[in-house]
Structure 1
Amino acid sequence: MNNFSTRIISAIVYAIVFISAIVYSQNTYIVLITFFGAVCLWEFSKIIKIQNAVLPVVSMVGLIVLNYLKILDSDKIIYLLLFCLLHSVYLIIDLYKKNYSERNHLLKSFTTISYLVLPFLFLAFLPFLNGDYQPKIIICVILIIWTNDSFAYIVGKNFGKTKLFERISPKKTIEGFIGGFLFSIFAGFLIGRYSEILTIQNWLIIAIITSVLGTYGDLVESKFKRQANVKDSGTIMPGHGGLLDRLDSLFFLAPFVYLYIHYLM
C-alpha cells in the first residue's frame, strides 16, 4: 500500500471515529476529547522532553471531569479562559522571535498546561450552548477547519509564490492563506444560511477566528517541532504523523471560539 492510500484510509478512519463520537452523545464526545487530549499531551511531552507527563494528563482529565460535573463555577472558568488566551497570544508573538529560548523543567510544565491542558478543556465544552449539547457547533467548526486547510493547500500549491512563514513552515504561502481564508468565509456563510443554531453573522465571525487562529495553531506546533528537530509529533496516524499534528489547529483556536460563543455573542 502506497503512502497516499495509507493517508486516505487513515484520514477516513479518523473522521468516522471523530464525527461518530460527536453525533452519538455528549458523553462519547467528552470521552473522546479527553482521550485525544491525553494522547496529544504524551506526544508533546516527547517533543519538549518532559520526563513525566502524568501530572499534565491528570490535570486535564481532572478539569474536564470537574466541569462536566458542574463543580467548577463560571468565575473560575473565565479566569482559566483569560489565562489560556493570554498564553496563546504570547505563543503567537513568540513566532516572530528568530532565536529559540531554552525552557527549564518548570517552564516546560507551565507551557504544557497553558498550551494543551486548558485548550482541551475548552474544546471539550465548546459545543455546550446554554447548558445544552449542540453537536452541530463542533461539527461545523471542524468543517471550516477542513475547508481552510484544503483550500490553503490547493491555492498555495497552484498559485503560491510568497512565503507566509518560511523560517517555521516553508510550504505555507500568503496566497494559500488568503485562499483558505476566503473559502472559510464562504463555508461560514453557507453554514449560517442553512444552520438553525447561530446566525450568518455569528458563523462569519467564527469562520474568521477559525481560519486565522487555526493557521497560527499549526505554526505554533510547527515551531515546537522545529525546536525539537522532529518532523511529526508521533506515529499514531499512519501517513499523517501524530494526533497532535491533526488537532493543532482545533485545540489552539477552541478557547477563542469558546470566548466568542459563551461570552461575546
Structure 2
Amino acid sequence: MKTRAITGFFFVIVMLGSFFAGAAVFSVFYGILAVLCLQEFYGLIKQSGSSPNTATGLINGVYTYAAFAALFHWDVYPEAQTIHKLVFLLVPAMMAIFIQELYRNTNKPFENIAYTFLGIILTVLPFTFFHALGFVTNSGFSAHIPMGFLLMLWANDTGAYLVGRQFGRTKLFERHSPKKTWEGFIGGIIISAVAGYVLSIYFKELVWRQWVSVAILISIVGTLGDLVESMFKRSINVKDSGGLLPGHGGLLDRFDGLFMAAPIVFAYLYFIFN
C-alpha cells in the first residue's frame, strides 16, 4: 500500500506538472505516454502467442500522434501552414504494416496485422483526442479542460472504489470485472459530477452544466473502457498490463478509462465550441 501511494503521488505530480509547462511539453509528454501504452499493448499480445509488427506499429503510432498534434501548433509556428499535409502521409505509412507482413514467415499474418492496427486504435488515437482537448476551445492552448478531464476521471475511479467497497452488493459486469458493482458505478458518477461542479467555479471555459455533463460522460464511457481493458486482459490471461508503475500495474491499467472517454468527450465539446 505504501509503494502504491508513493507511486501514485509522484505520478499525479508529473501528470499535473505537464499541464503547466506549456503546449509543446504537453504535446510531447502525452505523445510519449501514448507510445509507451502502445508498446505495453504489443508486449501483452506477444505473451498471448501472437506476433504484431511492433517496430512498424510503433513508428506508425508516433507518426499518427505527431501528425495530428502538429495541426494544433499553427499559431505557434505560422510558417508551418502546410503541415496538415502530413496527415495524408499516414496512408503509405499504414500500408507498410501490410507490406512488412509479406516478408515475415508467420502462420497468421492477418492476425498480426489486425493486432498491430488494434494497438494504434486502442492507445494512440485516444491520446490524440485527449491532446486535442487542450485546443478544443479554439482560442489557443488551455490546460484547464484536459486537466479537468483527468481530475474527473480520477474522481470517478476513487468514488467507484470507495462506494463500491462500502456499499457494493449488485455486480455490474461480473463476467469481466467481478469487483465492480452498480452501487460503485453510481457513486463514481455522483462524485465525478461533484468534481465537475467544483471545477466550473475555477475553470470558466464551460458553465457548470457542461462540466457536469462531461463528468457524467467520463464516468459512463470511462467505466466501459475499464471493462474493455479487463476483457482484454482476461482474454490473454494476465492480471496487470505491466509493471512500469509499482503498486499500480501498467500504463494500460491507469489509462483504461481515458481510452474510450477521451474521443467521446472531445466530440461533445467540439460541437459546443463550434
Q: Is TM-score (shorter-chain normalized) higher than 0.5?
A: yes
Using CA pairs under 8 Å that are at least 6 residues apart, name the structure with larger relative contact order, 1 or 2: 1
**TM interval, short-chain normalised:** 0.7 to 0.9
Match among 110, 121, 124 for residue 117 of structure 2: 110
Amino acid at match of 1:234: G
Partner of 1:263: 271
Partner of 1:14: 11
Whether 1:247 and 2:255 are equivalent positions in the alignment is yes
Q: TM-score, length-normalised on structure 2?
A: 0.81
How big is the shift at 1:202? 1.3
Q: Take 2:145 and 2:33, find their aligned partners in 1: how far apart are those partners?
A: 19
Amino acid at match of 1:116: T
User: Which one has a bigger Cα radius of gyration?
Assistant: 2
Q: Take 2:272 and 2:56, find their aligned partners in 1: how far apart are those partners?
A: 33
Q: Take 1:57 and 1:41, find their aligned partners in 2: how far apart are those partners?
A: 7
Amino acid at match of 1:104: E
Runs of 5+ unmatched residues, structure 1: 77-102
Partner of 1:83: none
Distance 1:264 1:198, change over 3 A: closer
- Kindly tell me the number of residue pairs found equivalent between the two proteins: 235
Partner of 2:238: 230
Whether 1:28 and 2:25 are equivalent positions in the alignment is yes
Q: TM-score, length-normalised on structure 1?
A: 0.83
Q: Deviations 1:187-240 (Å, cap 9, x if unpaired)?
A: 112222332111112112111111011111111111110001001111000011
| Identity in percent | 40
Matched position secondary structure for 1:133: coil
Q: Take 2:218 and 2:232, find their aligned partners in 1: how far apart are those partners?
A: 21
Structure 1: 4+ residue segments shifted above 4 A: none
Matched position secondary structure for 2:133: coil
Partner of 2:93: none
Matched position secondary structure for 2:8: helix
How big is the shift at 1:32? 1.0
Q: Which of 14-23 and 110-119 deviates more? A: 110-119
Partner of 2:178: 170
Q: Is the 8 A contact 2:52 2:112 kept in 1?
A: no
Distance 1:39 1:32, change over 3 A: same
Distance 1:131 1:67, change over 3 A: farther
How big is the shift at 1:252? 2.3
Q: Take 2:118 and 2:128, find their aligned partners in 1: how far apart are those partners?
A: 15
Partner of 1:92: none
Partner of 1:96: none
Matched position secondary structure for 2:84: coil
Q: Take 2:221 and 2:260, find their aligned partners in 1: how far apart are those partners?
A: 7
Distance 1:72 1:60, change over 3 A: farther
